[in-house]
């Protein structure tokens, strides 16, 4: 405190001294033997003093008008609290901290109150032309970041469990039920076709895919003759929010739809997979899925490319970079820019609230679809070859959180029943399935 007062005193003294010296130097130049001239100069001094004080007052007033305290709205405060809540969830409960901390911080940055103006030189934040955030946000609105994230996911994913038991891929497909149910629900609530498709993809619980699809279909432009609203921010926040809340949303649905006996089902250990199978799978998968759904090529092409880097055994450096440094950098940029796009005046709208509600419904239907389809498959499987329905919930593509949830729910019923490796099969199948669904929607609606 003493140092602070000392600094303030020094500044005040220097200001007073400079003012005194300036006035005395100016007065020395004034001739005092002509009364008329003296009077004119005195009037000029008074006018200058008034002008200076008036300008100082205007400067202070302008400073206040541009400050966040002057321009704060209830919406700004609400969104800042949402950002703080995201950070709290990430730190306190470790709900997807790698996602929620960048997004939460971005929400705070994007909702610092500022003076609203149509002049682009006075705009602040992500909407300011030429700003750093604006350039970084280009990767969101043009769908650049999602394929890069898929590259990293491919480089860190082991498809062995899916290769050893291909029928579990059907669970990943069944979990996409939430996408199409929510698509119909969004249409019923008044969203047009491209907007409804972008909202429905939230049910896949795949943030990058949701951003990729909304950047194509709900970006504020005219799509196939329909004027769309820019829903990228709300859709991205909803998708990542529900991905982070997987441990909260899924367990009650899983317990509701399964019996104690079903949760105790033990599955056969996955068979060993050869290196040839591991190398062949991403190549065959790339050709098959992208021939079916070419619109998903930017996502699935990068996913399988990353897996080829991993499984080939001769590009270890590239695979390590893709699954560590590259994906970390992209997640940081994606999280902070998506969060900063949620400024209150464009985010707190009835449409955004509907998107959050529809996203929750979509996620619930996706979880239920995977569990119920596993039960349906068991009707045709002999005893000892049945599927534990809990792993059906992992069909949503929140990798690897939904697989971990299936593992934890299985351990609650039987501490020796480990389902993680089995659950990873529908989990990675869900990633592929949601990307294929996005490609199909693009091909229909663009």
394 DSSP assignment: G
How many whole angstroms separate alpha carbon 119 and alpha carbon 371?
Answer: 53
| Displacement of CA 167 from its chain's centroid (Å) | 32
Range of 255's domain? 131-445
d(CA 204, CA 187): 18
In a domain, 53, yes or no: no
pLDDT, the chain, mean:
85
Q: Does 390 have pLDDT greater than 50?
A: yes
Residue 431 included in any domain: yes
Tell whether the model's pLDDT for residue 410 goes beyond 60: yes
Share of the chain above pLDDT 70, in %: 85
Query: For residue 222, what are the β-bridge partners?
Result: 227
In angstroms, the Cα distances linking 424 to 1, 168, 339, 393, 397 are 58, 9, 29, 11, 10
| Token pair of 43 as six digits | 């009037």
Whether 121 is in a domain gets the answer no
Query: What is the reported pLDDT for 105?
Result: 95
Confidence of residue 48 (pLDDT cuts 50, 70, 90): low
Q: Give CA–CA dist 409/423, Å, rounded.
A: 12
Among residues 128, 88, 113, which one has the least CA distance to residue 344? 113
Would you state the structure tokens that stand for residue 119, as one six-digit string? Answer: 């002049």
Q: Rounded distance, CA 127 to CA 254, Å?
A: 42
**What digits encode the pLDDT tens for the residues 318-331?**
999 999 999 999 99
Closest C-alpha among 213, 203, 182 to residue 246: 203
Q: Which two tokens stand for residue 143?
A: 């769908």
Residue 14 falls within a domain, yes or no?
Answer: no
Domain assignment of residue 35, yes or no: no
Distance CA 431, CA 14 (A): 66
What gap in Å lies between CA 235 and CA 342, rounded to an integer? 11
The better pLDDT of the pair 177, 30 is held by: 177
- pLDDT 10s digits, 152-162: 999 999 999 99
192 domain-assigned: yes
Mean pLDDT of 282-296: 94
If you count DSSP H runs as helices and E runs as strands, how many of each does the chain have, helices first?
A: 23, 2
Average pLDDT over every residue of 251-257 = 95
Q: What is the pLDDT of residue 27?
A: 42
For residues 31-51, average pLDDT: 52
Q: How many structural domains compose the chain? A: 1
Any domain includes 27: no
Give the global pTM: 0.83
In a domain, 22, yes or no: no
Per-residue pLDDT, averaged over 286-310, amounts to 95
Pick from 98, 114, 118, 126: nearest CA to 332: 98
pLDDT (0 to 100) of residue 420:
93
């Amino acid at each position: 405190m003493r140092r602070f007062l000392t600094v303030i005193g020094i500044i005040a003294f220097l200001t007073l001294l400079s003012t005194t010296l300036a006035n005395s130097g100016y007065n020395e130049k004034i001739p005092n033997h002509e009364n008329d001239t003296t009077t004119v100069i005195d009037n000029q001094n008074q006018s200058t003093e008034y002008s200076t004080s008036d300008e100082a007052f205007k400067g202070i007033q302008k400073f206040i008008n541009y400050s966040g305290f002057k321009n704060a709205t209830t919406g700004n405060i609400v969104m800042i609290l949402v950002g703080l809540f995201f950070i709290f969830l990430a730190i306190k409960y470790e709900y997807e901290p790698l996602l929620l901390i960048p997004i939460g911080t971005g929400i705070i940055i994007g909702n610092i109150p500022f003076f609203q103006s149509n002049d682009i030189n006075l705009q602040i934040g992500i909407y300011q032309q030429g700003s750093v955030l604006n350039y970084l946000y280009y990767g969101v609105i043009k769908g650049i970041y999602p394929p890069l994230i898929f590259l990293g996911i491919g480089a860190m994913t082991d498809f062995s469990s899916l290769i050893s038991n291909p029928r579990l891929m059907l669970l990943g497909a069944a979990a996409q039920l939430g996408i199409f149910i929510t698509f119909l629900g969004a249409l019923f609530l008044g969203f047009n076709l491209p907007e409804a498709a972008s909202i429905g993809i939230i049910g896949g619980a795949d943030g990058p895919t949701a951003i990729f699809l909304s950047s194509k279909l709900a970006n504020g432009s005219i799509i196939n003759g329909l004027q769309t609203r820019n829903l990228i921010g709300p859709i991205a926040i909803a998708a990542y929010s529900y991905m982070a809340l997987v441990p909260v949303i899924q367990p009650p649905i899983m317990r509701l739809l399964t019996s104690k006996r079903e949760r105790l089902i033990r599955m056969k250990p996955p068979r060993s997979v050869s290196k040839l199978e591991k190398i062949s799978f991403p190549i065959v998968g790339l050709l098959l899925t992208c021939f079916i759904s070419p619109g998903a090529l930017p996502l699935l092409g990068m996913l399988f490319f990353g897996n080829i880097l991993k499984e080939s055994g001769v590009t270890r450096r590239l695979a390590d970079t893709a699954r560590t440094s590259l994906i970390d950098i992209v997640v940081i940029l994606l999280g902070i820019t998506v969060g900063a796009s949620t400024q209150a005046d464009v985010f707190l709208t009835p449409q955004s609230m509907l998107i959050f509600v529809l996203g929750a419904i979509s996620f619930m239907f996706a979880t239920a679809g995977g569990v119920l389809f596993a039960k349906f498959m068991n009707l045709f499987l002999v005893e000892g070859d049945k599927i534990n329905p809990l792993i059906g919930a992992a069909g949503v593509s929140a990798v690897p959180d939904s697989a971990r949830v299936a593992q934890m729910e299985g351990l609650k019923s039987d501490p020796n029943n480990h389902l993680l490796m089995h659950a990873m099969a529908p989990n990675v199948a869900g990633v592929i399935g949601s990307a294929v669904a996005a490609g199909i929607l693009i091909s229909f609606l663009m």
